[in-house]
């Protein structure tokens, strides 16, 4: 239950691909590294106990989701972060969060109100004590 996002100019399939790509901890770590700047496959593989082909697979997933782009130089295929789909995903999550935070804080008040009404009824009732 959430108000629909409107006018982000991004298809659900795009968002779905973004979230899919982000669901893996290695891929999130790769993106976090790319926030600092472009990197080659070997540079990206370094902090992980993973082979370069394994890292390359993750990079392909990220590339398909549009989260990174990769250079054409076969020798040194630098990966760089593409911020736009991340921003769309972030906006969507923020809207989601806002909808629920606002609703829940209203629910807090309502629950408080209902409970004090119940207590008041009990106090004035014959089974006092």
Give the interface with other proteins as residue ranges (CB under 8 A). Answer: 1-5, 12, 16-17, 19-23, 25, 28, 31-32, 35, 81, 83, 86-87, 89-90, 93, 96-112, 114-115
CB of 21 to other proteins, least distance (A): 8
Instruction: Kindly tell me which of 46 and 108 has the beta carbon lying closer to other proteins.
Output: 108
SS3 (DSSP) at 90: helix
User: Contact 111/118 with Cβ under 8 angstroms?
Assistant: no
CB of 82 to other proteins, least distance (A): 10
Kind of pairing, strands 79-81 and 68-70? antiparallel
SS3 (DSSP) at 39: strand
Q: Where are the alpha helices (DSSP H) in 49-125?
A: 52-64, 83-124
CB of 77 to other proteins, least distance (A): 22
Instruction: Kindly tell me which of 54 and 87 has the beta carbon lying closer to other proteins.
Output: 87
Which tokens is 57 given? Answer: 């697979």
Instruction: Kindly tell me which of 32 and 120 has the beta carbon lying closer to other proteins.
Output: 32
SS3 (DSSP) at 68: strand
Instruction: Kindly tell me which of 19 and 48 has the beta carbon lying closer to other proteins.
Output: 19
User: Contact 79/67 with Cβ under 8 angstroms?
Assistant: no
CB of 62 to other proteins, least distance (A): 12
């Amino acid at each position: 239950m959430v108000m629909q996002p409107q006018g982000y100019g991004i298809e659900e399939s795009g968002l779905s691909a973004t979230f899919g790509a982000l669901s893996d901890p290695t891929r999130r770590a790769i993106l976090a590294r790319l926030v600092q700047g472009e990197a080659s496959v070997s540079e990206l593989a370094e902090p992980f106990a993973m082979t370069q082909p394994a890292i390359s697979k993750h990079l392909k997933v990220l590339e398909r989701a549009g989260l990174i782009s990769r250079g054409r130089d076969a020798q040194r295929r630098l990966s760089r972060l593409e911020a736009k789909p991340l921003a769309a995903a972030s906006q969507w999550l923020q809207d989601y969060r806002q909808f629920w935070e606002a609703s829940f804080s209203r629910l807090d008040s309502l629950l408080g109100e209902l409970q004090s009404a119940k207590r008041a009824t009990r106090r004035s009732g014959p089974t006092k004590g």
